[in-house]
Structure 1
Amino acid sequence: MSVRFVVRTFSELCVTVGTLIVLFVAYVLFWTGVKAADAAEGEIDTLHGQWGAREPVTPAPPPAPPPASGGASPSSSPSGSAEPPSSAAPAPYRAGKPFATMRIPRFGSGWEWPVLENTEVSTLRKGLGHYSGTARPGETGNFAVAGHRRTYGDPFKDFPELRPGDAVIVNDGATWFTYRVVKEPYRTVPGDTAVVDPVPRGSGFEEPGRYLTLTTCEPEWGSSHRLIAWAHLDATRPVSEGKPPEPAG
Protein backbone atom coordinates (compact mmCIF):
# COMPACT_ATOMS: atom_id res chain seq x y z
CA MET A 1 0.00 0.00 0.00
CA SER A 2 1.55 3.26 -1.14
CA VAL A 3 1.88 6.35 1.00
CA ARG A 4 -0.03 8.29 -1.64
CA PHE A 5 -3.02 5.95 -1.34
CA VAL A 6 -3.06 6.26 2.46
CA VAL A 7 -2.87 10.05 2.31
CA ARG A 8 -5.62 10.25 -0.30
CA THR A 9 -7.89 7.91 1.65
CA PHE A 10 -7.33 9.85 4.86
CA SER A 11 -8.00 13.16 3.07
CA GLU A 12 -11.24 11.84 1.60
CA LEU A 13 -12.30 10.59 5.03
CA CYS A 14 -11.59 14.01 6.57
CA VAL A 15 -13.63 15.72 3.85
CA THR A 16 -16.53 13.32 4.40
CA VAL A 17 -16.46 13.76 8.17
CA GLY A 18 -16.18 17.54 7.80
CA THR A 19 -19.16 17.60 5.45
CA LEU A 20 -21.24 15.56 7.89
CA ILE A 21 -20.32 17.90 10.73
CA VAL A 22 -21.29 20.95 8.68
CA LEU A 23 -24.61 19.33 7.74
CA PHE A 24 -25.30 18.42 11.36
CA VAL A 25 -24.54 21.94 12.58
CA ALA A 26 -26.77 23.36 9.84
CA TYR A 27 -29.54 20.98 10.93
CA VAL A 28 -29.21 21.95 14.60
CA LEU A 29 -28.86 25.69 14.03
CA PHE A 30 -31.17 26.20 11.08
CA TRP A 31 -33.45 23.34 10.15
CA THR A 32 -34.75 22.61 13.66
CA GLY A 33 -35.59 26.30 13.93
CA VAL A 34 -37.50 26.25 10.65
CA LYS A 35 -39.46 23.16 11.70
CA ALA A 36 -40.17 24.61 15.16
CA ALA A 37 -41.38 27.92 13.72
CA ASP A 38 -43.74 26.09 11.34
CA ALA A 39 -44.97 23.82 14.13
CA ALA A 40 -45.50 26.72 16.55
CA GLU A 41 -47.39 28.72 13.95
CA GLY A 42 -49.58 25.71 13.26
CA GLU A 43 -50.34 25.28 16.97
CA ILE A 44 -51.25 28.96 17.33
CA ASP A 45 -53.51 28.72 14.27
CA THR A 46 -55.16 25.70 15.87
CA LEU A 47 -55.79 27.66 19.05
CA HIS A 48 -57.25 30.63 17.19
CA GLY A 49 -59.57 28.28 15.33
CA GLN A 50 -60.73 26.69 18.58
CA TRP A 51 -61.22 30.04 20.28
CA GLY A 52 -63.14 31.43 17.32
CA ALA A 53 -65.57 28.53 17.54
CA ARG A 54 -66.32 29.09 21.23
CA GLU A 55 -69.53 30.64 22.45
CA PRO A 56 -68.93 33.93 24.29
CA VAL A 57 -68.49 33.39 28.02
CA THR A 58 -68.44 36.01 30.76
CA PRO A 59 -66.00 34.78 33.40
CA ALA A 60 -66.74 35.34 37.08
CA PRO A 61 -64.42 37.72 38.94
CA PRO A 62 -61.77 35.81 40.91
CA PRO A 63 -61.19 36.25 44.62
CA ALA A 64 -58.33 38.55 45.54
CA PRO A 65 -55.07 36.55 45.75
CA PRO A 66 -53.12 36.57 49.00
CA PRO A 67 -50.14 38.92 48.92
CA ALA A 68 -46.72 37.41 48.27
CA SER A 69 -44.03 38.17 50.79
CA GLY A 70 -40.60 39.55 50.08
CA GLY A 71 -41.87 42.62 48.26
CA ALA A 72 -42.73 40.55 45.16
CA SER A 73 -46.46 41.18 45.14
CA PRO A 74 -48.11 44.24 43.60
CA SER A 75 -49.82 46.68 45.93
CA SER A 76 -53.24 45.94 44.47
CA SER A 77 -55.09 42.82 43.41
CA PRO A 78 -55.08 41.77 39.74
CA SER A 79 -57.80 43.50 37.77
CA GLY A 80 -60.38 41.77 35.60
CA SER A 81 -61.08 38.05 35.73
CA ALA A 82 -58.60 35.24 36.07
CA GLU A 83 -60.55 32.04 36.65
CA PRO A 84 -63.65 30.40 35.17
CA PRO A 85 -66.81 30.23 37.27
CA SER A 86 -66.44 27.72 40.09
CA SER A 87 -69.63 25.95 38.97
CA ALA A 88 -68.00 24.84 35.71
CA ALA A 89 -64.97 22.59 36.18
CA PRO A 90 -62.53 23.16 33.30
CA ALA A 91 -61.76 20.26 31.00
CA PRO A 92 -58.32 18.72 31.56
CA TYR A 93 -55.58 19.72 29.19
CA ARG A 94 -54.76 17.19 26.49
CA ALA A 95 -51.21 15.84 26.43
CA GLY A 96 -49.10 17.52 23.77
CA LYS A 97 -51.89 19.90 22.75
CA PRO A 98 -51.88 23.72 22.95
CA PHE A 99 -54.10 25.62 25.38
CA ALA A 100 -52.59 29.13 25.52
CA THR A 101 -50.10 31.51 23.96
CA MET A 102 -47.31 33.41 25.69
CA ARG A 103 -45.74 36.77 24.89
CA ILE A 104 -42.68 38.27 26.58
CA PRO A 105 -42.14 41.83 25.30
CA ARG A 106 -38.56 41.80 26.59
CA PHE A 107 -37.78 39.23 23.87
CA GLY A 108 -39.11 41.39 21.02
CA SER A 109 -42.41 42.51 19.54
CA GLY A 110 -42.71 39.39 17.37
CA TRP A 111 -42.04 36.89 20.16
CA GLU A 112 -45.08 34.66 20.64
CA TRP A 113 -45.17 30.93 21.34
CA PRO A 114 -47.89 28.38 22.02
CA VAL A 115 -48.02 26.69 25.42
CA LEU A 116 -48.73 22.97 25.20
CA GLU A 117 -49.48 20.38 27.86
CA ASN A 118 -46.47 18.43 29.28
CA THR A 119 -42.73 18.83 28.80
CA GLU A 120 -42.00 15.79 26.64
CA VAL A 121 -39.28 16.10 23.97
CA SER A 122 -41.84 15.97 21.16
CA THR A 123 -43.93 18.69 22.82
CA LEU A 124 -41.02 21.11 23.27
CA ARG A 125 -40.28 20.82 19.56
CA LYS A 126 -43.56 22.61 18.87
CA GLY A 127 -43.51 25.33 21.52
CA LEU A 128 -43.37 25.81 25.27
CA GLY A 129 -44.37 23.01 27.63
CA HIS A 130 -46.57 23.23 30.73
CA TYR A 131 -45.41 21.15 33.67
CA SER A 132 -48.31 18.77 34.12
CA GLY A 133 -49.81 18.99 37.58
CA THR A 134 -48.91 22.63 38.13
CA ALA A 135 -51.52 25.39 38.14
CA ARG A 136 -53.37 26.70 35.11
CA PRO A 137 -52.91 30.34 34.04
CA GLY A 138 -54.38 32.66 36.67
CA GLU A 139 -55.05 29.95 39.23
CA THR A 140 -53.78 30.00 42.78
CA GLY A 141 -50.57 27.98 42.71
CA ASN A 142 -47.64 27.89 40.33
CA PHE A 143 -48.16 27.91 36.57
CA ALA A 144 -44.84 26.38 35.42
CA VAL A 145 -43.56 26.39 31.83
CA ALA A 146 -40.39 25.06 30.14
CA GLY A 147 -38.79 25.95 26.82
CA HIS A 148 -35.65 25.34 24.77
CA ARG A 149 -32.91 27.91 25.03
CA ARG A 150 -31.21 26.70 21.84
CA THR A 151 -32.47 24.61 18.91
CA TYR A 152 -36.10 24.22 17.91
CA GLY A 153 -36.63 27.91 17.45
CA ASP A 154 -34.55 29.09 20.43
CA PRO A 155 -37.65 30.39 22.27
CA PHE A 156 -35.74 31.16 25.48
CA LYS A 157 -32.46 32.26 23.88
CA ASP A 158 -32.64 35.64 25.64
CA PHE A 159 -33.73 34.17 28.99
CA PRO A 160 -30.79 35.74 30.91
CA GLU A 161 -32.02 39.19 29.83
CA LEU A 162 -35.17 38.94 31.98
CA ARG A 163 -35.31 41.63 34.65
CA PRO A 164 -37.62 42.42 37.60
CA GLY A 165 -40.82 44.04 36.39
CA ASP A 166 -40.76 42.43 32.93
CA ALA A 167 -44.19 41.36 31.70
CA VAL A 168 -45.08 37.79 30.73
CA ILE A 169 -48.48 37.80 29.03
CA VAL A 170 -50.52 34.60 28.69
CA ASN A 171 -53.72 34.27 26.65
CA ASP A 172 -55.98 31.24 27.12
CA GLY A 173 -58.59 32.47 24.65
CA ALA A 174 -60.85 34.03 27.29
CA THR A 175 -58.45 36.05 29.45
CA TRP A 176 -55.15 37.86 29.19
CA PHE A 177 -52.99 37.15 32.26
CA THR A 178 -50.12 39.56 32.87
CA TYR A 179 -47.43 38.26 35.19
CA ARG A 180 -44.47 40.34 36.43
CA VAL A 181 -40.99 38.91 36.87
CA VAL A 182 -39.76 39.40 40.44
CA LYS A 183 -36.00 38.83 40.17
CA GLU A 184 -33.23 38.04 37.68
CA PRO A 185 -32.97 34.38 36.56
CA TYR A 186 -31.89 31.90 39.20
CA ARG A 187 -29.41 29.07 38.41
CA THR A 188 -30.01 25.58 39.73
CA VAL A 189 -29.44 21.92 38.85
CA PRO A 190 -31.73 19.58 36.88
CA GLY A 191 -34.13 17.67 39.08
CA ASP A 192 -34.69 20.55 41.50
CA THR A 193 -38.46 20.13 41.43
CA ALA A 194 -38.97 22.54 44.33
CA VAL A 195 -38.67 25.42 41.83
CA VAL A 196 -42.11 24.48 40.46
CA ASP A 197 -43.76 23.87 43.84
CA PRO A 198 -47.01 25.79 44.51
CA VAL A 199 -44.87 28.15 46.62
CA PRO A 200 -41.54 27.73 44.78
CA ARG A 201 -38.40 27.48 46.87
CA GLY A 202 -35.88 30.24 46.22
CA SER A 203 -38.43 32.57 44.68
CA GLY A 204 -38.86 34.83 47.71
CA PHE A 205 -42.56 33.92 47.88
CA GLU A 206 -43.58 32.63 51.30
CA GLU A 207 -47.37 32.34 51.05
CA PRO A 208 -49.80 30.84 48.54
CA GLY A 209 -50.42 33.08 45.56
CA ARG A 210 -50.74 33.10 41.78
CA TYR A 211 -47.27 32.51 40.45
CA LEU A 212 -45.50 31.71 37.19
CA THR A 213 -42.24 29.78 36.82
CA LEU A 214 -40.23 29.73 33.57
CA THR A 215 -37.40 27.22 33.11
CA THR A 216 -34.74 26.61 30.45
CA CYS A 217 -31.32 25.00 30.04
CA GLU A 218 -28.03 26.44 31.27
CA PRO A 219 -25.41 26.94 29.85
CA GLU A 220 -26.62 28.19 26.49
CA TRP A 221 -25.49 25.11 24.55
CA GLY A 222 -25.60 22.65 27.44
CA SER A 223 -27.93 21.21 30.03
CA SER A 224 -25.85 20.74 33.18
CA HIS A 225 -27.98 23.35 34.99
CA ARG A 226 -31.28 25.17 34.68
CA LEU A 227 -32.20 28.84 34.63
CA ILE A 228 -35.38 29.74 36.48
CA ALA A 229 -37.44 32.93 36.44
CA TRP A 230 -40.39 33.56 38.75
CA ALA A 231 -43.27 35.99 38.37
CA HIS A 232 -46.52 36.87 40.14
CA LEU A 233 -49.90 37.60 38.59
CA ASP A 234 -50.18 41.36 38.23
CA ALA A 235 -53.36 41.90 36.18
CA THR A 236 -56.01 40.17 34.09
CA ARG A 237 -58.12 41.40 31.21
CA PRO A 238 -60.94 39.71 29.27
CA VAL A 239 -59.95 39.02 25.68
CA SER A 240 -63.14 40.81 24.60
CA GLU A 241 -61.62 44.08 25.88
CA GLY A 242 -58.59 43.82 23.62
CA LYS A 243 -54.90 43.24 24.24
CA PRO A 244 -53.30 44.55 27.42
CA PRO A 245 -50.40 47.01 27.19
CA GLU A 246 -47.03 45.37 26.62
CA PRO A 247 -44.23 47.42 28.17
CA ALA A 248 -40.69 46.09 27.90
CA GLY A 249 -40.55 45.95 31.68
Structure 2
Amino acid sequence: MARARSRIAGAISVFGELLITAGVVLGLFVVYSLWWTNVLADREASEQGDRIRNDWANSGPGDLDTKDGIGFLHVPAMSDGEILVKKGTDTKELNDGIAGYYTEPIKSALPSDDKGNFTLAAHRDGHGAKFHNIHKVKDGDPIVFETKDTWYVYKVYKTLPKTSKFNVDVLQPVPKESGKKKPGRYITLTTCTPIYTSDYRYIVWGELQRTEKVDTQRTPPAELR
Protein backbone atom coordinates (compact mmCIF):
# COMPACT_ATOMS: atom_id res chain seq x y z
CA MET A 1 0.00 0.00 0.00
CA ALA A 2 2.79 2.41 0.90
CA ARG A 3 4.53 1.64 -2.40
CA ALA A 4 1.31 2.39 -4.33
CA ARG A 5 0.88 5.71 -2.54
CA SER A 6 4.47 6.58 -3.35
CA ARG A 7 3.87 5.89 -7.04
CA ILE A 8 0.76 8.04 -7.04
CA ALA A 9 2.59 10.87 -5.30
CA GLY A 10 5.41 10.61 -7.82
CA ALA A 11 2.99 10.71 -10.74
CA ILE A 12 1.25 13.75 -9.27
CA SER A 13 4.60 15.48 -8.78
CA VAL A 14 5.63 14.82 -12.39
CA PHE A 15 2.24 15.98 -13.65
CA GLY A 16 2.53 19.17 -11.57
CA GLU A 17 5.98 19.88 -12.97
CA LEU A 18 4.63 19.39 -16.50
CA LEU A 19 1.82 21.87 -15.80
CA ILE A 20 4.30 24.43 -14.47
CA THR A 21 6.50 23.96 -17.54
CA ALA A 22 3.50 24.32 -19.83
CA GLY A 23 2.50 27.49 -17.99
CA VAL A 24 5.97 28.97 -18.40
CA VAL A 25 6.02 28.11 -22.12
CA LEU A 26 2.56 29.62 -22.59
CA GLY A 27 3.62 32.74 -20.72
CA LEU A 28 6.70 33.13 -22.89
CA PHE A 29 4.54 32.71 -26.01
CA VAL A 30 2.19 35.45 -24.82
CA VAL A 31 5.16 37.75 -24.14
CA TYR A 32 6.49 37.01 -27.61
CA SER A 33 3.13 37.56 -29.30
CA LEU A 34 2.11 40.74 -27.49
CA TRP A 35 5.41 42.42 -26.73
CA TRP A 36 8.41 41.14 -28.66
CA THR A 37 6.57 41.15 -32.02
CA ASN A 38 5.73 44.79 -31.32
CA VAL A 39 9.40 45.57 -30.72
CA LEU A 40 10.45 43.88 -33.96
CA ALA A 41 7.61 45.43 -35.96
CA ASP A 42 8.26 48.95 -34.65
CA ARG A 43 11.92 48.60 -35.57
CA GLU A 44 11.11 47.44 -39.09
CA ALA A 45 8.43 50.11 -39.59
CA SER A 46 10.86 52.81 -38.45
CA GLU A 47 13.48 51.65 -40.93
CA GLN A 48 10.95 51.54 -43.75
CA GLY A 49 9.64 54.98 -42.79
CA ASP A 50 13.14 56.43 -42.84
CA ARG A 51 13.69 55.01 -46.31
CA ILE A 52 10.58 56.59 -47.77
CA ARG A 53 11.35 59.97 -46.21
CA ASN A 54 14.87 59.81 -47.63
CA ASP A 55 13.39 58.96 -51.03
CA TRP A 56 11.10 61.98 -50.77
CA ALA A 57 13.99 64.24 -49.87
CA ASN A 58 16.23 63.02 -52.67
CA SER A 59 13.83 62.65 -55.58
CA GLY A 60 11.77 64.97 -57.73
CA PRO A 61 8.01 64.88 -58.32
CA GLY A 62 6.65 61.41 -58.92
CA ASP A 63 3.69 59.08 -58.55
CA LEU A 64 2.01 58.73 -55.17
CA ASP A 65 2.61 54.99 -54.98
CA THR A 66 6.16 53.77 -54.42
CA LYS A 67 7.72 50.43 -53.62
CA ASP A 68 8.42 51.59 -50.05
CA GLY A 69 5.03 53.09 -49.24
CA ILE A 70 2.62 55.84 -50.20
CA GLY A 71 2.73 57.96 -47.06
CA PHE A 72 2.01 58.19 -43.35
CA LEU A 73 -1.25 57.99 -41.42
CA HIS A 74 -1.68 60.23 -38.36
CA VAL A 75 -4.58 59.60 -35.94
CA PRO A 76 -4.04 61.79 -32.84
CA ALA A 77 -6.78 60.05 -30.84
CA MET A 78 -4.94 56.71 -31.09
CA SER A 79 -1.65 58.17 -29.80
CA ASP A 80 0.34 55.72 -31.91
CA GLY A 81 2.47 58.23 -33.80
CA GLU A 82 2.80 58.11 -37.55
CA ILE A 83 1.93 54.88 -39.34
CA LEU A 84 3.55 53.95 -42.63
CA VAL A 85 1.00 52.91 -45.27
CA LYS A 86 1.83 50.45 -48.04
CA LYS A 87 -0.07 48.63 -50.74
CA GLY A 88 -1.94 45.49 -49.72
CA THR A 89 -3.31 43.93 -46.56
CA ASP A 90 -1.34 40.69 -46.64
CA THR A 91 -0.49 39.54 -43.13
CA LYS A 92 3.22 39.35 -43.99
CA GLU A 93 3.21 43.06 -44.83
CA LEU A 94 1.07 44.14 -41.87
CA ASN A 95 3.35 42.20 -39.52
CA ASP A 96 6.02 44.81 -40.25
CA GLY A 97 4.12 47.30 -38.07
CA ILE A 98 2.41 49.19 -40.86
CA ALA A 99 -1.06 49.77 -42.26
CA GLY A 100 -2.01 48.56 -45.72
CA TYR A 101 -4.62 49.70 -48.19
CA TYR A 102 -6.95 47.13 -49.70
CA THR A 103 -6.44 45.70 -53.16
CA GLU A 104 -9.16 43.10 -52.65
CA PRO A 105 -11.99 42.14 -52.22
CA ILE A 106 -12.78 45.77 -53.07
CA LYS A 107 -9.98 47.89 -54.43
CA SER A 108 -9.20 50.98 -52.37
CA ALA A 109 -9.20 54.45 -53.82
CA LEU A 110 -6.15 56.59 -53.13
CA PRO A 111 -6.35 59.96 -51.34
CA SER A 112 -5.50 61.80 -54.55
CA ASP A 113 -8.47 60.32 -56.41
CA ASP A 114 -11.39 62.66 -57.09
CA LYS A 115 -13.86 60.19 -55.56
CA GLY A 116 -13.69 56.97 -53.63
CA ASN A 117 -12.92 55.29 -50.32
CA PHE A 118 -9.34 55.04 -49.03
CA THR A 119 -9.61 51.77 -47.07
CA LEU A 120 -6.94 50.65 -44.60
CA ALA A 121 -6.20 47.75 -42.28
CA ALA A 122 -3.66 47.23 -39.48
CA HIS A 123 -3.13 44.91 -36.54
CA ARG A 124 -4.77 45.68 -33.23
CA ASP A 125 -2.54 43.41 -31.13
CA GLY A 126 1.02 42.26 -31.72
CA HIS A 127 3.19 43.06 -34.73
CA GLY A 128 3.17 46.78 -33.96
CA ALA A 129 -0.51 46.93 -32.99
CA LYS A 130 -0.90 50.21 -34.89
CA PHE A 131 -4.69 50.25 -34.50
CA HIS A 132 -4.71 49.04 -30.88
CA ASN A 133 -6.41 52.23 -29.65
CA ILE A 134 -8.96 52.51 -32.44
CA HIS A 135 -11.73 52.46 -29.83
CA LYS A 136 -10.53 55.90 -28.66
CA VAL A 137 -11.42 57.50 -32.01
CA LYS A 138 -14.66 59.49 -31.80
CA ASP A 139 -16.90 61.39 -34.19
CA GLY A 140 -15.33 64.71 -35.10
CA ASP A 141 -11.74 63.55 -34.52
CA PRO A 142 -9.17 64.29 -37.24
CA ILE A 143 -7.38 61.73 -39.37
CA VAL A 144 -4.49 63.06 -41.43
CA PHE A 145 -2.73 61.32 -44.28
CA GLU A 146 0.68 62.65 -45.29
CA THR A 147 2.22 62.14 -48.72
CA LYS A 148 5.33 63.61 -50.26
CA ASP A 149 3.49 66.68 -51.55
CA THR A 150 0.12 66.87 -49.75
CA TRP A 151 -1.59 66.68 -46.37
CA TYR A 152 -5.08 65.12 -46.57
CA VAL A 153 -7.22 66.13 -43.60
CA TYR A 154 -10.25 63.94 -42.83
CA LYS A 155 -12.85 64.16 -40.07
CA VAL A 156 -14.37 61.08 -38.45
CA TYR A 157 -18.14 60.97 -38.87
CA LYS A 158 -19.09 57.41 -37.90
CA THR A 159 -17.73 54.34 -36.10
CA LEU A 160 -18.94 50.75 -36.17
CA PRO A 161 -17.56 48.97 -33.09
CA LYS A 162 -18.53 45.47 -34.22
CA THR A 163 -19.33 43.87 -37.55
CA SER A 164 -18.70 40.55 -39.27
CA LYS A 165 -15.20 39.99 -40.62
CA PHE A 166 -16.94 38.99 -43.85
CA ASN A 167 -18.71 42.33 -44.19
CA VAL A 168 -17.02 43.87 -47.23
CA ASP A 169 -19.70 46.54 -47.69
CA VAL A 170 -17.78 48.75 -45.26
CA LEU A 171 -15.12 49.04 -47.99
CA GLN A 172 -17.46 50.15 -50.77
CA PRO A 173 -16.62 53.42 -52.60
CA VAL A 174 -19.74 54.84 -50.98
CA PRO A 175 -19.87 53.17 -47.53
CA LYS A 176 -23.65 53.19 -47.13
CA GLU A 177 -23.54 51.57 -43.68
CA SER A 178 -21.88 54.77 -42.52
CA GLY A 179 -24.91 56.76 -43.65
CA LYS A 180 -23.38 58.16 -46.84
CA LYS A 181 -25.39 57.93 -50.05
CA LYS A 182 -23.33 59.91 -52.56
CA PRO A 183 -19.78 59.59 -53.89
CA GLY A 184 -17.19 61.53 -51.93
CA ARG A 185 -13.64 61.28 -50.66
CA TYR A 186 -13.79 58.93 -47.70
CA ILE A 187 -11.32 57.05 -45.50
CA THR A 188 -12.03 53.77 -43.69
CA LEU A 189 -9.93 52.21 -40.91
CA THR A 190 -10.48 48.52 -40.15
CA THR A 191 -9.04 46.17 -37.55
CA CYS A 192 -9.90 43.13 -35.45
CA THR A 193 -12.14 43.24 -32.38
CA PRO A 194 -12.54 42.44 -29.48
CA ILE A 195 -8.98 43.10 -28.33
CA TYR A 196 -6.79 39.98 -28.48
CA THR A 197 -9.21 38.24 -30.87
CA SER A 198 -10.03 38.33 -34.57
CA ASP A 199 -13.69 37.36 -34.33
CA TYR A 200 -15.12 40.63 -35.65
CA ARG A 201 -14.05 43.91 -37.22
CA TYR A 202 -14.00 47.46 -35.83
CA ILE A 203 -14.62 50.22 -38.39
CA VAL A 204 -13.97 53.97 -38.42
CA TRP A 205 -15.15 56.20 -41.29
CA GLY A 206 -13.95 59.70 -42.11
CA GLU A 207 -14.57 62.23 -44.87
CA LEU A 208 -12.04 64.56 -46.48
CA GLN A 209 -12.33 68.14 -45.25
CA ARG A 210 -9.44 69.77 -47.10
CA THR A 211 -5.94 69.31 -48.48
CA GLU A 212 -2.81 71.34 -47.79
CA LYS A 213 0.35 71.47 -49.83
CA VAL A 214 3.48 70.37 -47.99
CA ASP A 215 5.90 73.26 -47.48
CA THR A 216 9.68 73.01 -47.37
CA GLN A 217 9.67 72.55 -43.58
CA ARG A 218 6.90 69.93 -43.75
CA THR A 219 4.88 71.99 -41.28
CA PRO A 220 1.97 69.78 -40.23
CA PRO A 221 -1.64 70.96 -40.40
CA ALA A 222 -3.21 72.47 -37.29
CA GLU A 223 -4.80 69.13 -36.36
CA LEU A 224 -1.33 67.67 -35.69
CA ARG A 225 0.25 70.59 -33.83
Question: Shorter-normalised TM-score: what interval?
Answer: 0.7 to 0.9
**Residue 91 of structure 1: how far off its partner (Å):** 7.0
1:114 to 84, 90, 114: 84
Residue 212 of structure 2 aligns to a residue whose secondary structure is strand
Cα distance in 2, alignment partners of residues 138 and 165 from structure 1: 22
1:186 CA displacement: 4.2
Answer yes or no: is the 8 Å Cα contact 2:76–2:143 preserved in 1: yes
- Give the number of aligned pairs: 213
The question of 1:130 aligning with 2:101 is answered: yes
Q: Name the CA shift for 1:237/1:119 in 2 (closer, same or farther; >3 Å).
A: same
Q: Equivalent of 2:189, from 206, 214, 219?
A: 214
Q: Percent identity?
A: 31
8 A Cα contact 1:160 1:185, kept in partner: no
Determine if contact 1:115/1:129 at 8 Å carries over to the other structure.
Answer: yes
- Corresponding residue to 2:206 among 217, 227, 231: 231
Over aligned residues, Cα RMSD in angstroms?
1.9
1:237 to partner: Cα distance:
0.9
1:72-106 Cα offsets, whole Å, 9 max, x none, are xxxxxxxxxxxxxxxx9x47654xx4221111111
- The residue number in structure 2 matching 1:69 is none
CA distance in 2: counterparts of 1:138 and 1:232, whole angstroms: 13
Q: Distance in 1 between matches of 2:201 and 2:110?
A: 22
Q: Which residue does the alignment assign to 2:42?
A: 37
Counterparts of residues 51-66 of structure 1 (less than 5 Å):
51-55=56-60, 57=61
What letter corresponds to residue 137 of structure 1 in structure 2?
P
Query: Which structure would you say has the larger Rg?
Result: 2
Q: Which residue of 2 is the match for residue 12 of structure 1?
A: 17
Q: CA deviation at 1:32?
A: 0.9
Aligned-residue offset at 1:230: 0.6
Hey, which of these two has a bigger chunk of helix by percent?
2
Measure how far apart 1:34 and its partner are: 0.3
Tell me if structure 1 keeps the 8 A contact 2:64–2:70. Answer: no
Q: Which digits, 9 at most, give the CA deviation of each residue in 1:37-73, with x for residues without a partner?
A: 1111112111101111222x4xxxxxxxxxxxxxxxx
Q: What amino acid is aligned across from residue 108 of structure 2 in structure 1?
A: T
Cα distance in 2, alignment partners of residues 145 and 136 from structure 1:
10
Alpha-carbon separation, structure 1, partners of 2:222 and 2:173: 28
Kindly report structure 1 stretches of 4+ aligned residues shifted beyond 6 Å.
none
Q: Deviations over 1:92-137 (max 9, x none)?
A: 654xx422111111122x6111011100011111211111221112
Moved more, 235-244 or 212-221: 235-244
- Higher normalized contact order (CA 8 Å, seq sep 6+, divided by chain length): 1
**TM-score, length basis structure 1:** 0.80
Classify 1:247/1:41 alpha carbon distance in 2 versus 1 (closer, same or farther; 3 Å).
closer
